């Protein structure tokens, strides 16, 4: 097994052949990877696909369990969007790394991220405390297969989303800060991007374009992002474009001709679509608004919400909604029953992947210091 440093160098070299990377943002990503095992996990799906078959061969080698998975699934990979009726929908919101993996990879990665995120806010939790509600939600999702709306039926979501919605004035001030989002002329945008932006607005929209110099996220940090903003009277409408590359799994397998699977997984998942989300060959376009947000794991001051069993069960349900795009609920339930013959497989695999993630992070942090 090559070192985390060699893996990072090799993966980023592969990325540079597929998109324009920012050296400054890659440096920022490397710095954020020092901050703890949880941000390290979020930033290094390429390392997960290397580690997974070696650390959990009894799960990774089960070819009959493969499906189109999220890939980079973790507890900060959920959020809220507005559907065509302006209802708030909750679910997975980052499918950049969609690829063919056993369904257990998504489950174990989600559980491992929960354990690592809990440690970050000083919550003492064991793998079985996380795996129980996740798996219960996953099994329920296989039976029902229903998208998840933010309603009073899910009080944990109502409370969580209220805490993440921003004041509109503060939101737009942040998005339009010139030092973080300088204006660019249409001719300075990557080829074809202006047309992609304009297709997402009304035909006569007067648009201002900006490049994001301090974007959020970790896994895709380093890729270029742009914003198109329309100002009309006292309101604003905006879209974000993020460069898209195929999953890191295809880097590892040296499948250079494999395209991104993002559009495919979204088309087949059980899902109420975001009407503004567009997947192009090399770009993702989505709406920006104060009430549409990626939901980060709660900070220490919000411990009462962090890793609440109800929230974990909903994460399991949403994972099932995505997997049902590739397999039937009966088939996946049968696969789970075959795994259950080996009791404790889920917490055991989670503990092993948590341990190897912490080991890689420690090496990264030591060298960085």
SS (H, E, C) 109-149: HHHHHHHHHHHHCCCCCCHHHHHHHHHHHHHHHHHHCCCEE
Least confident span in 35-39, 60-64, 263-267: 60-64
Q: Would the pLDDT of 166 be above 80?
A: no
CB 200 within 8 A of CB 239: yes
Q: How far is CA 289 from CA 91, 189, 229, 243, 279, in A?
A: 17, 22, 11, 20, 19
Res. 296: pLDDT tops 80? no
Closest C-alpha among 274, 172, 290 to residue 231: 172
Q: How confident is the model at residue 99 (pLDDT cuts 50, 70, 90)?
A: very high
pLDDT at 244 over 60: yes
pLDDT digits (tens, 9 = 90+) for 198-238: 999 988 889 999 998 888 788 899 999 999 998 877 668 89
Rounded Cα gap, residues 129 and 119, in angstroms: 13
pLDDT tens for each residue of 39-75: 999 999 999 999 999 999 999 998 899 999 999 999 9
d(CA 106, CA 87): 27
Residues 158, 151: contact at Cβ < 8 Å? yes
Residue 68 · residue 325 · CB < 8 Å: yes
Whole-angstrom Cα distance, residue 233 to residue 253? 51
Mean pLDDT of 252-263: 93
pLDDT in the model for residue 189: 94
- Compute the mean pLDDT over every residue in the chain, rounded to the nearest whole number: 90
Q: Which pLDDT value is given to residue 214?
A: 81
Mean pLDDT (whole number) for 349-360: 98
Give the model's pLDDT for residue 307.
67
- For the whole prediction, is pTM greater than 0.95? no
Q: What is the pLDDT of residue 114?
A: 94
β-pairing, 88-92 vs 293-294, is unpaired
Res 297: pLDDT = 63
The per-residue pLDDT for 345 is: 96
Q: What is the mean pLDDT of residues 330-345?
A: 92
**Position of tokens 């509600």?**
133
C-alpha distances in Å from residue 251, one per residue of 94, 103, 218, 247, 280? 19, 20, 18, 7, 20
Predicted confidence band at 367 (pLDDT cuts at 50, 70, 90)? confident
When pLDDT is averaged across residues 328-344 and rounded to a whole number, the result is 91
């Amino acid at each position: 097994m090559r070192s985390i440093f060699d893996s990072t160098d090799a993966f980023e070299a592969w990325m540079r052949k597929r998109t324009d990377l920012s050296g400054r943002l890659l440096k920022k990503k490397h710095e954020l990877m020092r901050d703890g095992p949880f941000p390290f996990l979020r930033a290094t799906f390429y390392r997960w696909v290397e580690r997974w078959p070696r650390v959990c061969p009894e799960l990774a080698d089960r070819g009959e369990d493969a499906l189109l998975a999220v890939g980079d699934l973790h507890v900060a990979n959920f959020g809220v969007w507005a559907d065509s009726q302006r209802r708030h929908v909750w679910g997975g919101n980052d499918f950049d790394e969609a690829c063919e993996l056993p369904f257990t990879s998504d489950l174990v990665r989600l559980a491992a991220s929960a354990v690592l995120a809990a440690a970050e806010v000083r919550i003492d939790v064991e793998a079985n405390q996380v795996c129980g509600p996740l798996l219960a939600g996953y099994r329920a999702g296989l039976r029902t297969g229903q998208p998840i709306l933010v309603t009073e039926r899910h009080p944990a979501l109502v409370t969580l989303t209220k805490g993440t919605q921003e004041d509109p004035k503060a939101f737009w001030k942040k998005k339009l800060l010139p030092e973080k989002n300088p204006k660019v002329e249409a001719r300075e945008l990557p080829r074809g991007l202006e047309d992609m932006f304009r297709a997402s607005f009304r035909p006569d929209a007067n648009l201002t374009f900006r490049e994001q110099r301090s974007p959020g996220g970790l896994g895709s940090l380093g890729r270029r992002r742009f914003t198109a903003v329309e100002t009309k009277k006292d309101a604003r409408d905006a879209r974000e474009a993020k460069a898209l590359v195929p999953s890191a799994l295809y880097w590892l397998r040296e499948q250079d001709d494999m395209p991104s699977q993002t559009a495919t997984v979204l088309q087949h998942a059980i899902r109420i679509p975001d009407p503004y989300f567009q997947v192009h060959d090399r770009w993702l376009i989505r709406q920006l608004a104060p009430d549409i947000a990626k939901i980060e794991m709660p900070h220490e001051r919000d411990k009462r919400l962090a890793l609440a069993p109800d929230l974990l069960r909903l994460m399991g349900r949403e994972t099932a909604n995505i997997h049902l795009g590739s397999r039937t609920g009966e088939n996946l339930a049968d696969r789970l029953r075959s795994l259950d013959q080996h009791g404790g497989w889920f917490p055991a695999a989670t503990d092993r992947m948590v341990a190897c993630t912490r080991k890689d992070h420690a090496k990264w942090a030591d060298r960085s210091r």
